[in-house]
Amino acid sequence: MHNIAGSPVEGHDFFGREAVVARLQDILDNDDILLLGPRRIGKTSAARAVMKQVRAAGWRAIEINVASCVDESGFLDKLEAALQPEVSSLTARSAGAIGDALAAIGRRIKSVKIPLPGAGSFGVELGEGSAEDWTQVGGDVLQLIAQMEERWLIYVDELPILLFNMIRNDPLTGVQRVRRFLDRIPLSEDDAGSIVTAVQWPQPYYLQATFHHLRSLIGANPGASAASLIEQAMDKLVQPGADNDFHHWQGRLSQQLSRADADHAQAMLNLAARDPSGARPESLLAALEERMGEATTEQARRTFIRLRDILQRDAYWWPDEGSGAKRYRFRLEPLRRWWLRRDTL
């Protein structure tokens, strides 16, 4: 073991953070990771340990340090340089196709321009000739990587320095360019509206969670439209291991209601979850009467009204009369799907 202060450590010099590495590797199975924190706390060391682990699991992993980059073209040049050694180990046919695409990066990107409302297009000239949007070039490279049918980890070190350089060197549009760099996936107004419609309740957290999964799906399916992947994104929200944000909805019933009332409320929600349009109050009342056994019709009716109002107050469901007949339907569609999955064999 070496006594190293400041510089990243690897091999036997990296120890005691196995749980951190395992956790990061687990997250990478489904998501991207942004490592934020002060300098000299071991982010690069941990990242390289993760790279070592995923390589052992059959992934391809590359590291690019973008501290010296001042624009988007420089970033893609770094990506090209890191990819070339990996490309050389592929079959001749695959290497040729991807190598041609990488070699074309420098020729294709001639300028970085973004439109400003009322001011035309401004930006940084990178060369002569016709300009091509750098996001299209980068997207083409990522699509080629996806076609290799292998899992990839691309570790980008010193990203904040690149973003700062872009802002400092382009006072006019640098901030907009940085925002675009960090959020490359285009989302049209129609697609955004489709997400809100699918989630049903425009609650910011669940909209963002759905979009988070949508980004991953778009990356894995480069040729698919965003709208066609929204349903899959919502389904990912409710899968085991990714559904922690829904368990409290069920637990809250037991916390605020008696055991009998919590069971009744859950049964009513089970019935409403079977149909996206919800359940008729008559059906819900009939199910409750059956559950309450010896209770009179009036007792069951009062219990239904009391629990109905609690579930409406706490945003589990709402009365929808859009079809002409009142139905109690889940306010949040991902919650309905989760609830249905929990009640289905």
Residue 40 has a CB neighbour count (10 Å cut-off) of 11
194-245 residue pLDDT tens: 999 999 998 888 888 898 888 878 867 777 888 999 999 999 989 888 888 8
CA distance 24 to 10: 17
User: Which two tokens mark 154?
Assistant: 């691309």
Q: What is the pLDDT of residue 124?
A: 37
Residue 308 host element (H or E): helix 297-313
Q: Is 56 a residue whose pLDDT tops 50?
A: yes
Tell me which of 106 and 224 has the higher pLDDT.
224
The mean pLDDT of 169-187, rounded to a whole number, is 73
Q: Is 117 a residue whose pLDDT tops 70?
A: no
What is the rounded end-to-end Cα distance, in angstroms, of the chain? Answer: 53
64-103 residue pLDDT tens: 999 999 887 788 788 878 887 877 766 555 556 566 656 6
* One-character DSSP codes across 5-52: -SS---GGG--S-HHHHHHHHHHHTT--------TTSSHHHHHHHHHH
Residue ranges of alpha helices (H) inside 72-221 are: 72-87, 92-103, 105-108, 134-147, 159-169, 174-182, 189-199, 204-220
Helices 259-273 and 333-342 sit at what angle, rounded to 10 degrees? 110
The mean pLDDT of 32-58, rounded to a whole number, is 86
Tell me which of 344 and 312 has the higher pLDDT.
312
CA distance 204 to 198: 13
Q: What is the pLDDT of residue 15?
A: 80
The mean pLDDT of 291-308, rounded to a whole number, is 94
Q: pTM for the full model?
A: 0.53
User: Which two tokens mark 295?
Assistant: 């209770």
User: Which two tokens mark 221?
Assistant: 């399916």
For the CA atoms of 175, 177, 182, 186, the dihedral, rounded to the nearest 10 degrees, stands at: 130
Tell me which of 254 and 91 has the higher pLDDT.
254
- The structural domains of the chain, ordered by start, are 59-182 (no CATH), 189-237 (no CATH), 247-342 (1.10.10.10)
CA distance 119 to 108: 25
CA distance 292 to 269: 16
Residue 121 host element (H or E): strand 120-125
**Residue 57, phi then psi, degrees to nearest 5:** -90, 5
Can you count the helices (H) and strands (E) in the chain? 16, 6
Tell me which of 172 and 98 has the higher pLDDT.
172
Q: Is 125 a residue whose pLDDT tops 70?
A: no
